[in-house]
């Protein structure tokens, strides 16, 4: 799989290979070129680095093929959701993959998925589509930047996600078990997921928190008459920003949660099963420190149904297994055109292995906690 995860973007292209149409397979065109040994040797640089381009005249195309990467199984339905204020996409499996049982007779658990970003004005659907192919009903939930939602992060109302659950159950037409609801959140989506765990205690049975803070970052979070204060991202604090050689910004030191204790999300004594996945080379958040603090808080609250998994060398951008790595990207909170360093660049193989390990751990955790 190395030919896929080791791919790097051309200058000016997208940061990652992600699709806004998960119903279509993503094509990878592969070509193998050859030349005689003398020509190949003479083209190497003095430092023994080899940098060939398929336009080089001495290279001949020996063979080619196209490999398709699919995100959505044939027995999965994609259902756009516009219900009240809720925007998202529901993926509904029609059969259990392992048993080939029709879901008209057997209901399945629901998993909400959320990211801290979007893709070209669309909610990111890849994770939800693949989860549905594993037998979960899954809904990619947008909370900013899509359709008529706020363009950037805005104060979070947990009732929105409560409504999203009801919208998914309604669209599932009896195939979704409302008693088995989980949630997966990455980055800002992770602290939103934790807020759902904290306030929707009778509805959320399991949550996976990936490379996220345990504070309400950049937004005040509300549920009915309760609020969690915002943990500000202090962009004006230039002393906490590192400008790297490639002109990307390392902003991992911007958050100062000790100054804002009221921004801590009250999740520690919530009944849901919790899995924290934290990249040890995350340069967007200190995810490991946040996850470790979460463990201390949960232990103090007497909670035992949780697990914290640090992933050596993995950066912030934890995408699907074997996806090309993303080491820097634009960010909703950064000025337009400014790229933020996400980590994982100095440990690319560990980063990829971390993505694989995170996916396997997440699937097993959700299967166990939601009784798939």
Enumerate residues 6+ apart whose C-beta is below 8 A from 93.
Answer: 73, 75, 76, 103, 108, 132, 133, 135, 136, 137
The three-class DSSP label of residue 275 is strand
Please confirm, yes or no, whether 83 is among the known catalytic residues.
no
Please confirm, yes or no, whether 287 is among the known catalytic residues.
no
d(CA 371, CA 96): 13
Task: At 282, give phi and psi (nearest 5°).
Answer: -70, 120
Closest CA to 71 of 138, 159, 150, 171: 138
Please confirm, yes or no, whether 187 is among the known catalytic residues.
yes
Distance of CA 220 to CAs 7, 154, 224, 227, Å? 39, 8, 13, 7
Determine the pLDDT at residue 96.
Answer: 60
Sign of the alpha-carbon torsion through 217, 87, 79, 123: negative
Q: Are strands 176-186 and 206-210 parallel, antiparallel or unpaired?
A: parallel
Write the DSSP assignment of 26-65 as a string of letters. EEEEEEEEE--HHHHHHTS-TTS-----TT-TT-EEEEEE
The torsion defined by the Cα of 51, 56, 59 and 65, in degrees rounded to 10, comes to 80
pLDDT in tens, the chain (372 residues): 788 888 887 777 777 777 889 999 989 898 888 877 666 666 655 445 556 666 666 688 899 999 999 999 989 999 999 999 999 999 999 866 555 555 555 689 999 999 999 888 899 999 999 999 999 999 999 999 999 999 888 899 999 999 999 999 999 989 999 999 999 999 999 999 999 999 999 999 999 999 999 999 999 999 999 999 999 987 666 777 888 998 898 988 889 999 999 999 999 999 999 999 999 999 999 999 999 999 999 999 999 999 999 999 999 999 999 888 999 998 887 878 889 999 999 999 999 999 999 999 999 999 999 997
The beta strands (E) that lie in 218-327 are given as 221-223, 226-228, 242-243, 249-250, 273-279, 306-311
Identify the active-site residue in 138, 273, 281, 316.
Answer: 316
Determine the pLDDT at residue 205.
Answer: 99
Closest CA to 277 of 307, 246, 247, 241: 307
Task: At 166, give phi and psi (nearest 5°).
Answer: -65, -40
Task: Using the CB atoms, write b or e for 13-30: b if 16+ within 10 Å.
Answer: eebebbbeebeeeeeeee
- 218: which 2 tokens? 């950049």
d(CA 54, CA 59): 7
Identify the active-site residue in 191, 282, 325, 369.
Answer: 282
Determine the pLDDT at residue 19.
Answer: 85
Q: Are strands 242-243 and 249-250 parallel, antiparallel or unpaired?
A: antiparallel
Identify the active-site residue in 133, 187, 216, 323.
Answer: 187
Instruction: With residue 343 as reference, give the H or E element that holds it.
Output: none
Domains, the chain, with CATH or none: 2-68 (no CATH), 71-235+253-325+348-369 (3.40.50.1820)
């Amino acid at each position: 799989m190395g030919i896929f995860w080791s791919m790097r973007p051309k200058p000016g292209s997208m940061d990652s290979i992600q699709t806004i149409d998960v119903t279509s397979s993503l094509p990878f065109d592969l070509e193998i070129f050859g030349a005689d040994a003398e020509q190949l040797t003479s083209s190497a640089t003095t430092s023994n680095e080899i940098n060939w381009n398929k336009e080089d005249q001495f290279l001949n195309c020996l063979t080619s093929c196209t490999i398709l990467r699919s995100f959505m199984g044939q027995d999965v339905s994609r259902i756009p959701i516009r219900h009240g204020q809720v925007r998202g996409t529901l993926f509904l499996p029609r059969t259990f993959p392992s048993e080939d049982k029709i879901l008209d007779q057997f209901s399945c658990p629901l998993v909400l998925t959320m990211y801290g970003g979007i893709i070209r004005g669309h909610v990111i659907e890849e994770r939800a589509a693949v989860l549905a192919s594993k037998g979960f009903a899954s809904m990619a939930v947008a909370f900013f930047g899509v359709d008529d939602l706020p363009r950037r992060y805005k104060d979070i109302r947990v009732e929105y996600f409560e409504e999203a659950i009801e919208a998914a159950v309604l669209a599932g037409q009896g195939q979704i078990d409302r008693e088995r609801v989980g949630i997966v959140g990455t980055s800002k989506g992770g602290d939103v997921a934790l807020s759902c765990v904290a306030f929707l205690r009778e509805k959320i049975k399991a949550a996976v928190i990936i490379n996220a803070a345990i504070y309400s970052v950049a937004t005040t979070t509300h549920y009915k008459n309760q609020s969690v204060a915002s943990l500000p991202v202090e962009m004006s604090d230039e002393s906490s920003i590192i400008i790297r050689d490639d002109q990307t910004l390392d902003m991992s030191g911007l958050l100062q949660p000790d100054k804002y204790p009221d921004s801590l999300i009250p999740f520690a004594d919530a009944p849901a099963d919790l899995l924290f996945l934290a990249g040890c080379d995350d340069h967007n958040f200190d995810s490991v420190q946040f996850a470790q603090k979460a463990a201390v808080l949960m232990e103090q609250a007497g909670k035992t149904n949780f697990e914290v998994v640090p992933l050596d060398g993995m950066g912030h951008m934890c995408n699907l297994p074997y996806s090309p790595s993303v080491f820097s990207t634009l960010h909703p909170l950064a000025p337009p055109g400014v790229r933020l360093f996400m980590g994982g660049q100095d440990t690319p193989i560990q980063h990829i292995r971390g993505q694989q390990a995170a996916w396997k751990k997440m699937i097993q955790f959700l299967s166990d906690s939601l009784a798939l």
